Chain A
Amino acid sequence: MELLENYWLYFLVGQFPNGPLGGLALTILLGAGALLLAMPLGVLLGLARVSHSRWLRWPVTALVYVVRGTPLLMVVFWAYFFLPSLTGQKTGQFATMLAALVIFNGAYLAEIVRAGIQGVPRGQWESAQSLGLRYVSTMRRVILPQALRNMLPSLVNQFVTTLKETSLGYIIGLSEVSFIASQINNQVLTQPLAIYGIAALTYFLICFGLSRLSYSLEARLNA
């Protein structure tokens, strides 16, 4: 199709190298980056959620509930309007979106991590305790490695969700897939069905592929 011929590069990488990176490449970069940065945050928050100290547990639980009760778009707007004053610099759309995604997914990952930790059998705690290992060592060397392994399918699912969440960048003008699709539509005007259809198909192929991966991961882990 003529449409594909003219716009495939723009769709894949945006205006790069004549401008900032965009399109599919940007979506994947943003999604992967957000999840990678959110992981440490999620692990820290998750550890706080299972901590014995209520001074750690309660504030973090409250934080997680607040973030999870707020629409992601709201978090994006908070970041958009207030990151510049916080950092003292004009914050680009990519950084804004990244910050919002990291905070939002950190809270969701906290719950996944918590479930992962609580899913490790009690016997593992007891045998580590019997050997005299301290709490931190036990968590680091015995519990977390097992918890993270069990969490892998959930993590892949969360990556799929994050990739879909990058579409909200549209609203702040970030050149990710949805925004590029509408830019193309605004130029061509006569083929919205094809344009949005292709964009939707792109999301579908990537997300479906990843969720199949998560499915087979789960099957292998349960074997």
Chain B
Amino acid sequence: MIEFRGVNKYFGKLHALADVNETIARGEVVVVCGPSGSGKSTLIRTINRLEPIDSGQILLDGRDIHSRGLDVDRFRAGIGFVFQQFNLFPHLRVIDNCTLAPIHLGRLSPAEARDQALELLERVGLADKAQAFPRELSGGQQQRVAIARALALRPPVMLFDEPTSALDPEMVSEVLLVIRDLAHQGMTMVCVTHEMGFAREVADRMLFMDHGKILERAAPADFFDHPQHPRTQKFLADIRSPFA
């Protein structure tokens, strides 16, 4: 469904993505991990064109996402993106955050959008907070609203950029549970995260990145128990904290 062909990206002199080739199939849940600066966020942000690329191609359902005739905004509406910093719209109530896009992209009438938003908020466990403003919610609640907001456009694929990294530890699981449920419902997902327990349980495939390259690809069991590449091994050893 999503295909990277020889993708390169530079930030000045920094080679952020180095000759990336990868395919993500429909319905697959792929978790990308790696040390800071490895390019994992950059990778995921190129998928919905939040970051441009310098060479190579990215295909969605066989179509080059950088082709001239492509309507970028419509393209992005077809991909759900959840940010590390949630990025809810602070001046709008929770429900309005979720109905803004469907209404203004002409997909749904206001009434339909409201019904759908309430249904989605129910799914993430926050239907009772529909009238609240984002500042009244905890980080975990805000992130769950962000997920509902992204789902409101019924995208076939969801991207998560370190969705729990900005949360206090006690709120991490409420968000991960929502993401896990999505995965079990067959959503195609690419998730950048440090939460290895979650990855082990939910991922179909793990990708390890370092210095802009994908160094290892494996199913979770193989990845965690028998890492092949020396840097993967080092990474996994480092994150198994001596204090755990």
Contact = CB atoms under 8 A, between A and B. Distances in A.
A126 B44 CA distance: 13
B124 to A, nearest CB: 17
Interface string B59-80: 0000000000000011111111
Interface stretch (A134-142, A159-167, A194-202): A134-142
Interface centre among B48, B75, B79, B101 (most CB of A within 10 A): B101
A126 B104 contact: no
B150 A130 contact: yes
Interface residues of B, number: 26
B214 to A, nearest CB: 23
Interface residues of A, number: 18
Interface in B63-103: 73-81, 83, 85, 87-91, 100-101
Nearest to A136: B104
Interface in B139-169: 146, 149-150, 153
B91 A131 contact: no
B78 A132 contact: yes
Contacts of A84: none
Given A123-B87, A126-B50, A146-B90, A141 B100 contact: yes
A145 interface: yes
A216 interface: no
Contacts of A130: 48, 50, 76, 79-81, 83, 150
Nearest to A127: B87
Contacts, number: 60
Contacts of A128: 89
B105 interface: yes
Given A126-B50, A141-B104, A131 B77 contact: yes
A154 to B, nearest CB: 18
Interface of chain A: mostly helix, strand, loop or mixed: helix
B73 A134 contact: yes
A128 B77 CA distance: 10
Contacts of A121: 87
Contact of B101 (A123, A126, A132, A146): A132
Contacts of B88: 127
Nearest to A146: B91
Given A126-B50, A146-B90, A137 B76 contact: no
Contacts of A146: 89-91
Interface string A108-133: 00000000000001011011111111
Interface of A: 121, 123-124, 126-134, 137, 141-142, 145-146, 149
Given A126-B87, A128-B89, A132-B77, 9 more contacts: A129-B50, A130-B48, A130-B50, A130-B80, A130-B83, A131-B77, A131-B149, A131-B153, A132-B153
